[in-house]
Chain A
Amino acid sequence: MKGNVLVVDDEPIVLKSCERILGAEGYSVSVAADPLKALEMLEAATPEAKDGYDIVITDLKMPGMNGIDFMRKLREKDPTLSLVLITGYPSQESIRDALALGIVDYLPKPFSPAILTGVAERAIEFKRRRASHDASAGGGGHDEDEMAAKLDTIIQKYKGKPGSLIPVLQESQELVGYLPPAVQRHIARGLNVPVSEVHGVVSFYSFFTMKPKGRHNIRVCLGTACYVKRAEEILQKLKDRLHIDIGEVTKDRKFSLESVRCLGACGLAPVVVVDKDTHGSVNPVQALDILKKYEES
């Protein structure tokens, strides 16, 4: 048995298809047509007992109680539960509220069976890790405070200097690894500029990223010299092998993949840079050999 899933939706067709798809994958699937019924079912099953639920997949708009309020109640009851929100009416507000509740994913309808099974897999993994994390240590609040203090030091260094936003973002990205919305808000407050301006700059320049990077960051040069030497094939091979697209990170956070516009090392074309190591004259057929060195660590 892969895990216990509870699907909550007022549309019978959704319940049926989730049951069919996840059931075939080896999950034990229970369904509820409304949140109140679902709460009853959860009440009956204690988390410690064998029939405790691992994942709750819920709709947003339902009679009696909306999905967000429902999830809030679930969180109070069991913080380790993996939550997935599905909706036919995606909106900025619902995404924000759902993220604040620490959901595993947000799926706009319609979604494909592959997406659903993928999410379920991740949700189980999430639940497992959360449970072990809770057992091993307390919260990570100290790290956050420390990070905020370091960000403030960067901001103070540049505050009042004209044109300081880009250098501040560069240093902050170096510190945090990426620029999530919370960091952008922090910088906006610190430099006293609108968040929209900060986000405008972050989204404009390719150097800035809003997604975290893997332990090893792979950059494939797609400059002209590399392109005519089949860099595109190298990129494709890496994508296929790691199962990620450009700008994404692998599930185990080991690798992230980027493409760059000419590193100016055309004499070595085609070039792949992993972390700070430059691999030149890469043979597209043997491109995957590069990964070997990094796979152990």
Chain B
Amino acid sequence: MGNYRANLVICGGTGCIAGGGAKIRDAMQAELAARGLEKEIGIVMTGCNGFCAQGPIMTVYPDGTFYEKLTPADVPLIVEEHLLKGRPVEKLMHKDPVLKRAVPAMHDIPFFNLQVLRALRNKGLIDAEKIEEYIARDGYMAAAKALLQMTPEQIVSEVKASGLRGRGGAGFPTGVKWELCARVQGDVKYILCNGDEGDPGAFMDRSVMEADPHVVLEGMIIAARAIGAHKGYIYVRAEYPLAVSRLQMAIDQANEYGLLGKNILGSGFDLDIEIYQGAGAFVCGEETALMRSLEGKRGMPIPRPPFPAVQGLWKKPTVLNNVETYANIPPIILNGAGWFRELGIEKSAGTKVFALTGAINNIGLIEVPMGIPLRKIIYDIGGGIKKGRQFKAVQLGGPSGGCIPKELLDTPVTYEDITQTGAIVGSGGMVVMDESNCMVSVAKFFLEFTTDESCGKCPPCRIGTKIMHGKLKDITEGLGKPGDIELLQDLAQDIINTSLCGLGQTAPNPVLSTIKYFRDEYEAHINEGWCKAGVCRPLTTFYIDASKCIGCGACARVCPQKTVSGEKKKPHSIDQSGCIKCRSCYEACKFGAVKIGPGSLKQKLLEEAEAAKGVSE
């Protein structure tokens, strides 16, 4: 690597690549070459930076200027102004959605400066495809310490003392899991990594695997040493092709450097790691199901005990941890359990990565100390709700989790406090919903998911979720009956009590939590035939409130059916007979003049229009 006076760090995560990140790099290379700057200014393509919604993004070092939403056309301007004349280009910088001004440096953007990066410590800094860059950031130091200076017992006790809990969802103490397996006698043991991130709305693990694949390998080496395993598998979703290729590259490099394979770093310890591509089944996030899948079978869970730590893959003692859990291991070994506990609280130590998405300004990947209130995440880091709308709920834990309403926004993010609300911390999906989201429809969405993904082994899960989904579908289509809510609650309890694995035991959570906090919405659907968010079409009528309409015509312009009409500067109206309830007018109106009424209103308005026509004729 040469010495450059400036380095351009371009994000190469899936989000930015999809937005044209590679084109930015190519344009930049061409531009620098054209101006003879290629020896002065370096370009680094990193893994996911985390601020995905603003992609493609680029940071200029050493000053740390952060540019977002770049197009190849912006490249010459940046080179000319910033790199040659030293004048950063304000119009390409991040605009603070609250303060409405440009923020030049990445470390001043609230999205970044409230985060504490531990598992993601290398995100957006290193070239994921170069092992040297990982090593330069203390990479494999922890593995060396674990292999050369510590006994397996010391590793286990350090991890136990740190209080690290499994980041995949269930929150089982990692050290305890390792200890169980380490105690089992056996010559063949397996160490597995779960990269089958299945929760819709979650992309933490994908980003770690793409941005920092070596940290996963290092975590696995340490764990393998602790339990005495010499063979490891990383189970990755086939939907993550970039993660698969970067991990493979990392494994090849580590083998070449003697960090994997026989006699690692001269310690006499052997470990081989292979990638196994999952074939798309949510239930394979469950550990026993994942092991069946690795064996080449249908991924169906089996009863525990025996626990995988005793009898796992091919009936041998096995430890399975999630990607983010492994990313936390090397710093614990290097800095000690005490350092890890400096952040978080007693029972939920350290930091947690979340994928912040939905109706929020700053969509992206964040890492925060545990115990931080939800409000801080959503309003300070997330920058609040989009389009100035009202916050309605935040969904945590995906199909196994629940929705937390605004009254509980001060809940600290810890395993226990979040579980209290009826949601779970889960793997880290955090989907924010605003007033335009219908909670019954959200519950239906999750149940549709679990109905589809239930492996079919246990009838309560296989049949119960289907019945619940059917009921929810009825309610959203205007076929709900009084008593449906109670029936749903009753069914939910039975499914929770009688299912074998985590999928069935948690599948009803989205329904229970939405009934708990948004019962009024269910009741409005059933009793009034009214979806107040305007999502369930049979239960919605869009109409224009003449007293609020200023006649700007924005609604008429977006209407695909051309059913909105009216003279300029005079109140418009919607012809109900042609309205397909697409919401376009509602979204377009800046004055709140387009209103959402109950489904039955449509008929009433049609009759009124008919009567008015009769009078005028």
Q: Which residues of A contact B (CB under 8 A)?
A: 162-167, 169-170, 197, 200-201, 204-208, 222-225, 227-230, 233, 260-269, 271, 278, 280, 284-285
Contact = CB atoms under 8 A, between A and B. Distances in A.
A267 B298 contact: no
A167 B277 contact: yes
Given A201-B298, A224-B358, A267 B55 contact: yes
Contacts of A197: 297
Contact of B14 (A170, A230, A264): A264
B363 A266 contact: yes
Given A201-B296, A266-B201, 11 more contacts: A163-B276, A166-B279, A201-B297, A206-B281, A222-B200, A224-B357, A228-B358, A229-B358, A280-B15, A280-B18, A280-B19
A132 to B, nearest CB: 39
Contact of B582 (A262, A265, A285): A285
B558 interface: yes
Interface stretch (B261-269, B371-379, B404-412, B429-437): B429-437
Contacts of A162: 295-296, 314
A228 B359 contact: yes
A266 B276 CA distance: 24
Nearest to B237: A264
Contact of B363 (A165, A170, A207, A267): A267
Given A166-B293, A223-B201, A224-B398, A265 B15 contact: yes
A265 B203 contact: yes
A260 B295 CA distance: 24
A228 B298 contact: no
B277 A170 contact: yes
B282 A207 contact: no
Contact of B52 (A233, A262, A265): A265
Contact of A204 (B199, B299, B357, B449): B299
Contacts of B294: 163
B279 A170 contact: yes
B311 interface: no
Contacts of A233: 582
B197 A264 contact: yes
B240 interface: yes
Interface of B: 14-15, 17-19, 52-53, 55, 197-203, 206, 238-240, 276-282, 293-299, 314, 355, 357-359, 363-364, 395, 398, 429, 431, 433, 437, 442, 445-446, 449, 453, 455, 558, 560, 582-584
B591 to A, nearest CB: 20
Contacts of B449: 261
A268 B18 contact: yes
B521 to A, nearest CB: 15
Contact of B238 (A163, A207, A267): A207
Nearest to B432: A228
18 contacts: A163-B276, A167-B277, A197-B297, A205-B278, A205-B281, A224-B445, A225-B363, A227-B200, A261-B280, A261-B449, A264-B203, A264-B240, A265-B52, A266-B201, A269-B358, A269-B363, A280-B19, A285-B582
B199 A262 contact: yes
A22 to B, nearest CB: 34
Nearest to B240: A264
In this complex, which of A200, A205, A224 has the most chain B Cβ atoms within 10 angstroms of its Cβ? A224
Contacts of B199: 262
Contacts of A268: 15, 18-19, 52-53, 55
A201 B446 CA distance: 24
Given A207-B238, A227-B445, A228-B359, A261 B198 contact: yes
A154 B584 CA distance: 51
Contacts of A267: 15, 52-53, 55, 357, 363-364
B200 A262 contact: yes
Nearest to B438: A228
Contacts of B296: 162-166, 201
Minimum-distance CB pairs A-B, first 6: A267-B52, A224-B201, A223-B200, A205-B279, A264-B203, A278-B18
Contacts of A165: 296-297
Given A265-B18, A280-B19, A169 B279 contact: yes
B358 A204 contact: no
Given A165-B296, A228-B431, A269 B239 contact: no
A204 B314 CA distance: 20
A204 B446 CA distance: 20
Contacts of B52: 265-268
Contacts of A222: 200
Contact of B357 (A170, A230, A269): A269
A224 B280 contact: no
Nearest to B537: A233
A266 B583 CA distance: 22
B429 A224 contact: yes
Contacts of A225: 200-201, 357-358, 363, 431
Nearest to B535: A230
B279 A208 contact: yes
A266 B355 contact: yes
A285 B55 CA distance: 23
A200 B295 CA distance: 14
In this complex, which of B277, B297, B359, B558 has the most chain A Cβ atoms within 10 angstroms of its Cβ? B297
A266 B357 contact: yes
A9 B135 CA distance: 77
Contacts of A166: 276-277, 279, 293, 296
Contact of A264 (B202, B297, B363): B202
A233 B560 CA distance: 14
A170 B55 CA distance: 32
B19 A224 contact: no
Nearest to A204: B298
Nearest to A169: B279
Contacts of B358: 224-225, 228-229, 269
Contacts of A260: 239
A294 B144 CA distance: 52
B380 to A, nearest CB: 19
B238 A170 contact: yes
B280 A207 contact: yes
Contacts of B398: 224
A127 B233 CA distance: 52
A238 to B, nearest CB: 15
Given A166-B296, A224-B431, A224-B445, A262 B202 contact: yes
B393 to A, nearest CB: 10
Contacts of B278: 205, 207
Contacts of A263: 14, 239
Contacts of A229: 358
A104 B206 CA distance: 44
A264 B281 contact: no
Contacts of A200: 297-298
Nearest to B18: A278
A264 B239 contact: yes
A209 to B, nearest CB: 10
A167 B275 CA distance: 11
A204 B455 contact: yes
A161 B582 CA distance: 53
Contacts of B240: 264
A79 B199 CA distance: 51
Contacts of B279: 166, 169-170, 201, 205-208
A278 B199 CA distance: 20
